[in-house]
Amino acid sequence: IPIIFASSILFVPSMLKQFFPESVPVEDFTNMFVPGHPVHDSVYALLIVFFTYFYTAIIFNPMDIADNLKKSGGFIPGIRPGKKTAEYLDQVLSRITLPGSFFLAFVAVVPFLMLGSFNVSFYFGGTSVLIVVGVALDTLQQLEYHLQMRNYEGFLKKGRLRGRRTY
């Protein structure tokens, strides 16, 4: 999602060029936001880092998670339930999000850098790699669940997994 948000923001300069096709300053400005240009790539990376934090803050609410843990009787060992748990989760989330956002920016920007460096016409973006890997992992997980369900005898009988029979 952060890559999609960043890409959407970077379409604004090209839209300006369509509204002011004769303007030289607008053309000079929009030329800086062509993929492969250092300004484009650095702004793209910064926007990805920003939107990663933004999206994480919207999706993951440490206070809600802490309340749900407390209500279900769960806890984090060494951390008091409630506000302390929320603070701990927020701290861990901040530490995890920074390297994750840098990696996401790296995966998204490297294809632009390679495209500009090697002058290749074939483009296989970082976002495509993320989608392919995500779909492959999901497919493997579904296959594993399916195989487990085939070997399960049922909860009304013995309720255990059937193993291979060796004679």
The three-class DSSP label of residue 29 is helix
Distance in angstroms (rounded) separating the CA atoms of residues 158 and 149 = 14
| pLDDT higher at 156 or 68 | 68
Q: Looking at the predicted structure, is the pLDDT value of residue 165 above 70?
A: no
Query: In this structure, is the dihedral angle defined by the CA atoms of residues 46, 94, 96 and 129, taken in order, positive or negative?
Result: negative
In the DSSP assignment, the letter for residue 105 is H
Q: Give DSSP secondary structure letters for the chain.
A: -HHHHHHHHHTHHHHHHHH-TT-HHHHHHHHTTSTTSHHHHHHHHHHHHHHHHHHHHHH--HHHHHHHHHHTT---TTS-TTHHHHHHHHHHHHHHHHHHHHHHHHHHHHHHHHHHHH--S----HHHHHHHHHHHHHHHHHHHHHHHHHTB--TTTT-SB------
Residue 65 has pLDDT above 80, yes or no: yes
Q: Work out the percent of the chain whose per-residue pLDDT is above 90.
A: 17
**Hey, what are 118's tokens?**
């090697």
What would the pLDDT profile of 97-128 be if each residue is shown by its tens digit? Answer: 999 999 999 988 888 777 767 776 666 677 77
* Torsion, CA 68, CA 69, CA 73, CA 78, rounded to 10: -160
Mean pLDDT of 31-58: 88
pLDDT at position 152 is 60
Higher-pLDDT residue of 150, 24: 24
Distance CA(134)–CA(125), nearest Å, equals 14
Of the candidates 103, 93, 88, the residue with the CA atom closest to the CA atom of residue 55: 93
Per-residue confidence (pLDDT) for residue 46, from 0 to 100 = 95
Instruction: Indicate if the pLDDT at residue 18 is higher than 70.
Output: yes
Q: How much is the pLDDT for 49?
A: 94
Site of tokens 């255990």: 160
More confident residue, 21 or 9: 9
User: Whole-prediction pTM value?
Assistant: 0.71
Average pLDDT taken over every residue of the chain: 81
